[in-house]
Amino acid sequence: MAHVLVVEDNTDNLTLMCDILDALGYSTSVAGNGAEGIVLAQQQQPDLILMDLSMPQMDGWTATRLLKDDPTTAHIPVIALTAHAMAGDRERALAAGADDYVTKPIALKEFSLKIREYLP
Structural domain of 31: 3-16+23-105
Domain total for the chain? 1
% of the chain exceeding 90 in pLDDT:
77
93 pLDDT above the threshold of 90:
no
For residue 78, the domain's CATH number is 3.40.50.2300
Secondary structure of residue 108 in the 3-state scheme: helix
pLDDT value of residue 77: 98
Does 43 map to a domain? yes
pLDDT value of residue 56: 86
Spatial contact of 19 and 62, defined as CB atoms under 8 Å apart: no
This prediction has a pTM of 0.95
Q: pLDDT tens digit string along 47-89? A: 999 999 989 889 999 999 999 999 999 999 999 998 866 777 7
Q: 98 Cβ partners below 8 Å, 6+ apart?
A: 51, 64, 78, 79, 80
CA angle 52, 15, 19 (to 5 degrees): 110
Does 117 map to a domain? no
Does 111 map to a domain? no
